C-alpha cells in the first residue's frame, strides 16, 4: 500500500516578474566559465521544457475531480508560463555576448515534439513528474546553500532564486495529478530512470558545446575545478543523490520533505508577496544581501559588529549619501499616467512552440541585377 500525503494548500501564487539582463558579465557565475555555461545550458532548456510540462498536465486536466488540485493545476500553469517567458528573456544576455543558445532550444523543441507525438499521455506526465523532481531538489539546494548563488551577478541571482521558490511551491502538482489519474509505480520509476540518463547526457553535451564555442573545451584546470565542485566529496550534484533516490520509493511524495518555512522566508526576502498575478514587479528593485541569506538558511548566528565599526560604516554611508547627486523626483501622477500608456505584456502561449529561435533569422535577399541592354 502506498502512503499518501494529502494535497497541501500552500497558496501557489502566479507572479508577474520583469527581469532585465543588461550589462551582465559573460561569466556571471563567479567569473567561472564551467559553472556559468552549465547554468546557461539548463536555462536554455526551460522555455520549451516548461511548455511541455503544461501540455502534459493539461491533457489530464478535465479528469481531475479534486477542487484543490484543480486550483493548484491552474496556478502551476500560470507559474510555468512566467518561467518560460522570463527564461526566454534570458537570451538577451546571451545575444549581448554572442553566446548561441538557439541550438539548445531547437534540439529540445524537436525532442519534445517527438515525445508528444509518440508517447501516450500517462507516459508524458510521468516524464514531467521526473523532471519536476529534478527541478525541485535543485531548487531546494539553491535556496539553502549560499555558496551556489553568492557569486552570481545580481540580476541573475534574483532570477534563479525566484525560479527556485516557485519550483518548490508547485513541486507536487504534476505528481499529484499522476497519482490521482494514473498511479502506476512501474511507469513512474521507468520514466525517471530513462529521463535521468538523457538529462545528464544532454546537459553535459550542451555545456561542452558552449565551452567549445568559448575556446575553453580543453581547459583542463577549469574542468577539474568544475567537476570537483559538482561531483567531488562535497559536490553540489553528489549531495543531491539521496534526495534523488527517494523518488524510487513506492511511498514517495514531494511534500514528505516540507520546506515551507524556508519558502516563506525567501518570499519575504525577495518581496515576492508584492508580485501577484495583477501586479508586475521590476525585479531590479529587489535587494538580497548575504545577511538575509544567512538568516534564511539558519546555518550560522550572525555576530554583532563592534560599536566602532558600526559608527565608522554609518559615517561613510552618510558622507556618500551627501556627496551623491540628487535625482530628479517625478510627480506620482505623472509617473502613473506615463505607466498607463505602456502596452501590457502578454506571455507567449505555452501550447505553441516558438516560431523562431534566436540566431535563425533568414538571410537578406540579394538585390536583382539590372537588365543588360546589350542582351
Distance CA 133, CA 170 (A): 11
Kindly report the average pLDDT of the chain as a whole number.
80
310-325: pLDDT as tens digits: 444 454 455 555 555 4
pTM of the model: 0.74
**Measured between alpha carbons, how far is residue 309 from residues 241, 303, 312 in Å?**
43, 13, 5
Q: Is the pLDDT of residue 61 over 80?
A: yes
DSSP symbols for 184-251: -HHHHHHHHHHHHHHHHHHHHHHHHHHHHHTT-TT-HHHHHHHHHHHHSTT-HHHHTHHHHHGGGSTT
Name every residue whose Cβ is closer than 8 Å to that of residue 124 and which is 6 or more positions away in sequence: 52, 55, 56, 59, 115, 116
What is the widest separation between alpha-carbon atoms in the chain?
A: 93
CATH code, residues 16-290: 1.10.620
351 grid coordinates: 501550447
Q: Where are the domains of the chain?
A: 16-290
Bridge partners, residue 152, by sequence: 29
CA angle 80–298–311, rounded 5-degree value: 110
Helix, strand and coil in the chain, % to nearest 5 = 60, 0, 35
92-105: pLDDT as tens digits: 899 899 999 999 99
Neighbours of 5 (CB within 10 A): 16
Q: Which long-range contacts (CB under 8 A, 24 or more apart) does 150-153 make?
A: 150/290, 150/293, 151/29, 151/30, 151/31, 151/32, 152/28, 152/29, 152/30, 153/24, 153/25, 153/28, 153/29
257-307: pLDDT as tens digits: 999 999 999 999 998 877 554 444 444 334 444 344 444 444 333 333 444
pLDDT of 11:
77
Phi, psi at residue 24, to the nearest 5°? -90, 130
Amino acid at each position: 500500500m502506498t502512503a499518501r500525503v494529502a494535497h497541501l494548500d500552500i497558496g501557489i501564487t502566479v507572479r508577474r516578474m520583469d527581469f532585465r539582463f543588461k550589462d551582465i558579465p559573460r561569466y556571471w557565475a563567479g567569473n567561472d566559465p564551467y559553472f556559468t555555461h552549465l547554468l546557461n545550458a539548463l536555462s536554455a532548456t526551460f522555455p520549451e521544457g516548461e511548455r511541455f510540462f503544461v501540455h502534459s498536465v493539461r491533457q489530464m486536466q478535465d479528469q481531475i475531480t479534486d477542487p484543490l488540485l484543480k486550483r493548484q493545476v491552474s496556478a502551476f500553469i500560470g507559474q510555468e508560463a512566467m518561467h518560460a517567458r522570463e527564461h526566454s528573456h534570458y537570451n538577451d544576455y546571451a545575444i549581448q555576448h554572442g553566446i548561441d543558445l538557439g541550438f539548445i532550444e531547437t534540439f529540445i523543441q524537436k525532442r519534445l515534439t517527438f515525445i508528444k507525438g509518440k508517447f501516450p499521455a500517462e507516459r508524458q506526465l510521468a516524464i514531467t513528474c521526473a523532471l519536476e523532481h529534478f527541478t525541485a531538489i535543485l531548487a531546494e539546494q539553491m535556496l539553502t546553500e549560499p555558496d551556489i548563488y553568492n557569486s552570481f551577478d545580481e540580476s541573475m541571482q534574483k532570477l534563479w532564486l525566484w525560479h527556485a521558490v516557485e519550483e518548490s511551491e508547485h513541486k507536487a502538482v504534476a505528481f499529484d495529478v499522476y497519482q490521482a489519474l494514473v498511479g502506476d509505480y512501474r511507469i513512474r520509476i521507468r520514466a525517471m530512470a530513462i529521463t535521468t540518463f538523457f538529462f545528464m547526457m544532454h546537459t553535459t553535451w550542451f555545456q561542452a558545446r558552449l565551452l567549445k564555442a568559448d575556446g575553453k573545451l580543453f581547459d583542463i584546470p577549469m574542468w577539474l575545478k568544475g567537476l570537483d565542485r559538482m561531483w567531488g566529496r562535497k559536490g553540489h550534484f553528489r549531495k543531491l543523490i539521496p534526495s534523488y533516490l527517494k523518488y524510487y520509493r513506492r511511498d514517495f511524495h514531494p511534500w514528505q520533505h516540507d520546506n515551507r518555512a524556508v519558502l516563506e522566508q525567501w518570499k519575504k526576502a525577495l518581496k515576492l508577496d508584492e508580485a501577484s498575478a495583477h501586479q508586475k514587479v521590476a525585479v531590479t528593485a529587489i535587494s538580497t544581501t548575504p545577511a538575509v541569506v544567512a538568516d534564511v538558511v539558519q546555518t550560522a548566528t550572525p555576530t554583532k559588529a563592534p560599536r566602532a565599526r558600526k559608527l565608522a560604516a554609518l559615517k561613510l554611508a552618510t558622507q556618500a549619501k551627501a556627496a551623491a547627486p540628487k535625482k530628479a523626483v517625478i510627480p506620482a501622477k505623472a509617473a502613473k499616467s506615463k505607466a498607463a500608456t505602456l502596452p501590457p505584456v502578454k506571455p507567449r502561449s505555452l501550447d505553441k512552440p516558438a516560431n523562431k529561435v534566436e540566431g535563425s533569422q533568414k538571410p537578406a535577399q540579394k538585390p536583382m541585377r539590372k537588365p543588360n541592354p546589350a542582351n
